[in-house]
Amino acid sequence: MSNAMKAAITCVGGYVPETKLTNFDLEKMVDTNDEWIRTRTGISERRILREPGKASSDMAVKAIEEILRKKNLDPLEIDCIICATVTPDMIFPATANIIGDKLGAKNAFGFDLGAACSGFLFALNTGAAFVETGKYKKVIVVGVDKMSSIIDYTDRATCIIFGDGAGAVLLEPNTEGNGVMDAILKSDGSGREYLHIKAGGSLKPASVESVMAREHFAFQDGQPVFKFAVKGMADVSAELLEKNNLTGDDIAWLVPHQANLRIIDATANRAGIPKEKVMINIHKYGNTTAATIPLCLWEWESQLKKGDNLILAAFGGGFTWGAAWVKWAY
């Protein structure tokens, strides 16, 4: 029986800035402490892009350049670049276009996709659909966020959580039965009141007043977000397994969005996946929004084996959430 063509991840690249922001650094900035942050989030430090004049595109370029090196690819071979981000370099043009220019990927079209912390998952499925049409052979999906650019470092509720980083994958056609096998993606815009940036969009354009009121920073109402995230991410992961007649035993790795250790634990428990099969790097990088899942794949790449079943799961602003079943291709 011939396998239908799937879109497979054939390479991974990642980048995190050198500058570390530790819990002890944050103790000096806001009323918090290391123990409080670790017990509630699992985070010890996060990376911050400090260099002036550097933006999300620069981190994305570094992650994609690693893929080009590892695969010995000419940037001209890239057909499409999909950039998942909530911290674009500018409102427009798309960060994907800036990335393409900096890479010299002159034959690629590109666009940004905004689904907050679920961005990479949504972009991966979008990229896979392009590959499955048969028209596109090499699609880059990059998740990147410079969260430090939208975080209020006087707000202890949010500044302890987020970090900067980028992770990218190359998608190519696969007929061996590996690749992006299935996904369940969901969104509910009524969740917008709990997690958003108030100003800077067409609803409330930037003004002296909006800046003075600190309305250009990420706002999060932690309790409802936590409650929705635990349920949403756990439910959709369990639903995806059930739909495909899979159990926790069939899964080599759970690759969860790194928002909070307690949300990760709840998702793993619900899916019946033991802790040793869960990718966790939140302690080092915090929540890098669209970059969390590909940064996990990047760190664990050497441990992944051809044919491994992976479950990718996320929850983010929107609300957006979802899970994807990926069979590893190399």
DSSP string, 126-175: HHHHHHHTTS-S-EEEEEEEEGGGS--TT-HHHHTTB-EEEEEEEEEEE-
- Kindly report the CATH number that applies to the domain delimited by 181-327: 3.40.47.10
Mean pLDDT calculated for residue range 74-88: 98
Q: Which of 11, 80, 117, 296 is catalytic?
A: 117
Tokens representing 277? 């099969």
Which residue from 86, 207, 203 is spatially nearest to 149, judged by alpha carbons? 86
Residue 283 near residue 44 (C-beta atoms within 8 A): yes
Tokens representing 304? 């992944």
Q: Which of 23, 257, 260, 296 is catalytic?
A: 257
Q: What pLDDT is stored for residue 151 in this prediction?
A: 98
Which residue from 118, 108, 109, 110 is spatially nearest to 85, judged by alpha carbons? 118
Q: What pLDDT is stored for residue 1 in this prediction?
A: 43
The secondary element (H helix, E strand) that includes residue 287 is none
| Cis peptide bond prior to 319, omega within 30° of 0 | yes
* pLDDT exceeds cutoff 90 at 101: yes
Average pLDDT for the chain: 97
Q: Which of 159, 260, 287, 296 is catalytic?
A: 287
In what side-by-side order are the strands of the sheet with 253-256?
179-187, 320-327, 309-316, 253-256
Q: What pLDDT is stored for residue 2 in this prediction?
A: 57
In the chain, beta strands by DSSP E: 6-15, 20-22, 45-47, 80-84, 109-113, 139-146, 164-174, 179-187, 195-197, 218-220, 253-256, 309-316, 320-327
- Kindly report the CATH number that applies to the domain delimited by 6-177: 3.40.47.10
pTM for this predicted structure: 0.97
Q: Is residue 33 among the annotated active site residues?
A: no
Q: What pLDDT is stored for residue 3 in this prediction?
A: 75
Which percentage of the chain shows pLDDT scores above 70? 99
Amino acid at site 13: G
Coil, strand or helix: which one is 195?
Answer: strand
* pLDDT exceeds cutoff 80 at 60: yes
Q: Is residue 174 among the annotated active site residues?
A: no
Task: Please name the residues in contact with 191: beta carbons below 8 A apart, sequence gap of 6 or more.
Answer: 224, 225, 228, 317, 318, 319
Task: Please name the residues in contact with 202: beta carbons below 8 A apart, sequence gap of 6 or more.
Answer: none
Coil, strand or helix: which one is 76?
Answer: helix
* 226 phi and psi angles, rounded to 5 deg: -60, -45
pLDDT digits (tens, 9 = 90+) for 138-197: 999 999 999 999 999 999 999 999 999 999 999 999 999 999 999 999 999 999 999 999
Mean pLDDT calculated for residue range 66-82: 98
Q: Is residue 281 among the annotated active site residues?
A: no
Mean pLDDT calculated for residue range 272-294: 98
Residue 63 near residue 79 (C-beta atoms within 8 A): no
Would you kindly state where each structural domain of the chain is located, as residue ranges? 6-177, 181-327
Mean pLDDT calculated for residue range 200-229: 97
